[in-house]
Structure 1
Amino acid sequence: MGRAWALLKAHPYVSNMVGYTALFASADILQQSVSTAGVDWSQTAKVALVGFCFHANFNYHWLRGLERLLPGGGLRKITLKVGLDQLVAAPATISAFFIGLSLLERKEDPLEDWRGKFWTSYKTGVVYWSTMQALNFALVPPVARTVFVGGISLVWTVYLCHLRQQSYYINYP
């Protein structure tokens, strides 16, 4: 564990990018293993690509920016960080997931999944991510926060992949 920590501290961007992307792709494999008869590696590659190109980069820079804006801990700062995370990052990352995969799949309407599933995802995410990010900001050193988010994204991405595979849509005004 000491070597992994030293590597993370020496190369935080690369370590966070690789770690986050691997966890993102693992979530898709896990979801497919539970939901289907096998793994569609093409689908997993698309999820990994969205994870690498957007989610890992966004989360790395977003979490660093939050720490610069509101350095340190304490109840007030952690609450502000969580609130900003839910108001800014959550809609961006959920949207990137649904729209990014739809674009990679060349869907005729790349906003269809987003329109039908965004609000369900967002409301569920507010509960899940508020708790997880509070733990992240309170207990995890800034250098390891993106990898921590990647780890807890494993569960979240399994949920999103499952929701995305559902044929129903929930329409809100």
Structure 2
Amino acid sequence: MLKWYQARLAKRPLLTQAVTTAVLFGAGDVLAQQAVEKKGFRNHDVTRTGRMVLYGGCVFGPAATKWYGFLQKRINLSSHNATIAARVAADQTVFATCNLAFFLSSMAVMEGSDPKEKLEKSYWSGLKANWAIWPAVQAVNFKLVPLEHRVLVVNVVSLGWNCFLSYLNSS
């Protein structure tokens, strides 16, 4: 399966990362609804899962793919550890802050609610949770994982994170 994935990644990297991200964002929402909220499949909100799939595939997957390429190309210091620290700092101050705001705002728009209210209610708690988890994940990701697999690593870790985001967005 890994060989098949790597072949797809080599042939169509952006599309492969987008599709993978869409699937895993959807899975995170299913986990949120079924394992955390215990809705049961009869009460599963398919539209909510669809919004997560749409966001993951059309926004996060492509954006993260391009972002990690940008970091790889543009942030290179004399020390490998300093390079990793600078990439993590950029990731957490630029990408994470913007992505969370865009996620919450776009979900509010797709739900027909007020993005400003959603941001006021959920942004700060979401960002604090992000900073508790993602700097360490990204440090390991940037240090040990080849560029073409970084979005996949984030997507796997994001199963739990997307479960949290989905819950945060819906609460």
Task: Please give the TM-score of this superposition, normalised by the length of structure 2.
Answer: 0.90
Q: 1:161 aligns with which of 155, 166, 169?
A: 166
C-alpha distance in 2 between matches for 1:110 and 1:127:
24
For 1:83, the aligned partner's letter is A
For 2:3, the aligned partner's letter is G
For 1:82, the aligned partner's letter is V
Partner of 1:22: 23
Determine which structure has the larger helix proportion and give its number: 2
What are the Cα deviations for residues 87-116 of structure 1, in whole angstroms up to 9, with x where unaligned? 001111111111111100111x22212111
Matched, 1:79 2:85: yes
* Contact 2:18-2:58 at 8 Å conserved across structures: no
Which secondary structure does the structure 2 equivalent of 1:159 belong to?
Answer: helix
Question: Residues 15-164 of structure 1: matches in 2 within 5 Å?
Answer: 15-34=16-35, 35=37, 36-38=39-41, 39-71=44-76, 74-107=80-113, 109-164=114-169
| Amino-acid identity (%) | 27
Per the alignment, do residues 53 and 4 of structure 1 end up closer, same or farther by CA in structure 2, a change over 3 Å counting? closer
Structure 1 unmatched runs, 5+: 167-173
Q: What is the count of residue pairs matched by the alignment?
A: 165
Which secondary structure does the structure 2 equivalent of 1:111 belong to?
Answer: helix
* Contact 1:82-1:130 at 8 Å conserved across structures: yes
For 2:152, the aligned partner's letter is V
C-alpha distance in 1 between matches for 2:74 and 2:82:
13
1:165 positional shift: 2.5
When the two chains are superposed, the root-mean-square deviation of aligned CA atoms in Å is 1.6
Task: Please give the TM-score of this superposition, normalised by the length of structure 1.
Answer: 0.89
For 1:21, the aligned partner's letter is A
C-alpha distance in 1 between matches for 2:80 and 2:10:
24
Partner of 2:7: 6
For 1:20, the aligned partner's letter is T
C-alpha distance in 1 between matches for 2:58 and 2:161:
18
What are the Cα deviations for residues 124-170 of structure 1, in whole angstroms up to 9, with x where unaligned? 1012110111111011110111122222222111111112222xxxx
Partner of 1:171: none
